[in-house]
Structure 1
Amino acid sequence: MKDKLGNLPSSPGVYLMKDGNGGILYVGKSKNLQQRVRSYFYPSAPHSNKIKRLVNNVRDLEIRVTDTEFEAFMLECRLIREWKPVYNKKMKNPLAYVYITIRPGNGFRRIEVTHHSGIGEAGAACFGPYTASKNTVLEAVRGIQECLQIACARSSISQTPCLNYSLGLCRGMCLGGEAVREYERIVDRFIELLAGRDRSLYEAMEQEMAAAAERYDFAAAARYRDSLQAVNLLVNKEAMIHFTEQNLSLAIVEALDEQTIKLFLVKRNRVLFSEKYHVAGRPPEQLRAEITEAILGGFGAEKTLPASPLARDEIDEAQIIYTYLQSSACRHLIIPEEWIEARDRLRIADGLDNILPRPLPQKSAGS
């Protein structure tokens, strides 16, 4: 162990912590393996009890080096799913994924947080899966409902109002009448917001927060602030899901250094191809032509799939890819299916100009 800790690389990669029988206790990833792995074994580090128990049981280390942090994330995800280490809990539990489902009810629709998708149910709108815990999503939805005064404590219309009505958290849908129609209009706007089609409800909540602050009702302003943060959490996750469900063909380029780039070809939640290319001293047209052939070869064999709902076993890789695309570490190009089908090398090569690094200026003689 001392020898392995003393010879750790400072590159990205994945580490597997093992017990005395070679069983995998924990899989982790890091941008800098040396710093991350050694940090577990610093006696003065403020470790949790879980980490202390893990370290006490570690008898061996296996290191798998990658070229990029993105590859380390993807490899970690695959290994956790494959080996299910005892100290990696998140991706082992099928109940770790939840959905928001809006179903017809007895008198008015109900917003539910559940582990089971409502996709395909008549009259239901379904969003997710979300990787946050059920409690986190429940708290987010509850906060939004309370701020919008649609947190009815009843499941159907009644002669008497629910407790939340007296607390100012329910518009009185439980009593029927115009309050139900107003509630349904708000639910329609909530659906449009989660689907990314209309942000007017979000903007209205922002205005209510500002108004509360102006009248020095800071408790109400804080509730709106927290609810807006919850909306962002849900909307951002839905944006990732919608993006992945389009089954786009993505060419992603990351610069490893001034002389080398790495190309990834990604479809949905899978990396179909990856390769390093030296760029220093090469004519740009030669590099474009080589990568164009890789794109046609990588995506040409991949069948075009229609858009389809994102499954639970796809969500983790999809989130990693989507986050990577939003980062400054890489640049990406969406390759239209018609370019691939027509084997349109010219359009692909022109598109690559937007993501490939510019050639370094040549030094003049005598400089």
Structure 2
Amino acid sequence: MHGSLRVRIKNLPAKPGVYIFKNSEGRVIYVGKAKSLRNRVSSYFHADSGDSPKTRLLVREIMDMDYVLAGSELEALLLESNLIKRYKPHYNIRLKDDTGYPFLKLTNEPFPRLEFTRRVEADGARYFGPYSSAAGLRETLRFIRRVFPMRMCAEMKKSPCMYYHIEKCPGPCSGGISPEEYRDNIRAAALFLDGRAADVVVSLEKEMLQAAAEERFEKAAVLRDRLKALASVVSRQQNAVFADRQDRDAVGVAVEGRLACAVVMSVRRGLMTGHESFLLEVPDGETREAAMSAFLKLHYAHAGTVPREVIVSHEPPDADLINEMLTERAGRKAKLTHPKRGAKLNMATTALENASQKLADAAVKDKLDREKRRSMTIALTRRTGAEKPIVRILGFDISTIHGGNTVGSAVSFLEAAPEKDGYRKYIIKGSGRDDFSSMTEMAERHFRRVARGAEPAPDLVLVDGGKGQVSAAAKGIAASGFEPFPLIIGYAKKTGVSHIHGRKTPLMLAEEEPSSWLVRRVIAEAHRFAISFHRKKRGQAMTES
């Protein structure tokens, strides 16, 4: 540890907060919380601090440090969770899916709507989740909209929109549904998402019988159809787990190598309502207890609903602080339980068994994926005649409409897998109004960063287009002064022809070839990333005008 860092650590305040360790490149490698920043950070550099291999490796890499003061240890815990999600530090336990797990958002409006989101904001809306499967959640959203009709438009107009005319919306904008009936639909949807489908059924049955008694047969028929749709869901939730009808979650965590799996089993009103599984990346040698602590903080710091009790298969070392966090997030008393016997132990054991099985399945899939990716990189190296193995690929694309709001994207693939920390966006600044000049500018700017060590050097550069785009990219890389010059290939999607810089004969890749699949995957991802950025910039420009 160099002298200036030693002095900074010595002068740290003895107050709660979050400390941030960085390596020689300025990259965040670890985020931690502390009741006393001075005591906790100093402990890493004591002679007896290297008990664990993880700590020894971490300390060797620490070259810089930052910190953020917090009002309490609980506030530090919540901030730590947010920073881990933001920086994804190598030595922290973190969720494997870095896109963020999905939620359903019930908006805070006179006529609320449900929407899919990956961000939880302090906007007065109610959030349900997180869920582990985006596809499954979208299917749930379609089911809810069908059973409990509600508006789908982002902004409610004064007259019926397309959704009303295709019978996807009850039409609150035109008086097609009364405010009271609309509120009933929203209330029922929220109960359903809370795992209380049985309560919804009871309410609908009463309403259906009343409608029939009042000879409102059309209304009774609508309610009958909703009950039929809910029947299959309710039948899966009929097995009572606890007689006291309390809301609980059971969390099991399994760890193997650098991968962990957490399973959350949900019990609402004493009935099992479902479960979600989450994969985590963990440092080598991490314990189940530490993994449990990290997962509980990551999950419940952002969860839409916190039950009264969370049952765990392994007791985290900071159980008291997590208890405090659960209570704060729930807005009422909530507790963490590590059971020793009875029904709660059985549930914790079941959650652990599910986590172990899903972890084993994920490990097999991960191995197969690695083997598949390796075969693709070997095939691409062989087919292109590259002088060294193609390990890191950089994909370039330009997005514009008539030369306006032109942007560029650079996506990074490492061993045939997306490396999203290496994705970069570029706003094209030059006066060029065509793809070629824009490509040249982006390539030069990006490779200037590579030349000074701010970005890793790729083994292959893929551009979306033909000879013109390849020449434009080569011109930009040459202007950057970076050496050695990388292999550059342009892939024309319409013809499937790949043009290699400096070679007269193009490369023809058959669609079924592993190397072709990898090239198309990188090009498609670069295109997607560029398009999404361009839409955002275009939307901002329209708003400003």
State the TM bucket, normalised to the shorter chain. 0.3 to 0.5
TM-score, normalised via structure 1 length: 0.35
Structure exhibiting the larger radius of gyration computed from Cα positions? 2
Identify the structure with bigger relative contact order (alpha carbons < 8 Å, sequence gap 6+): 1
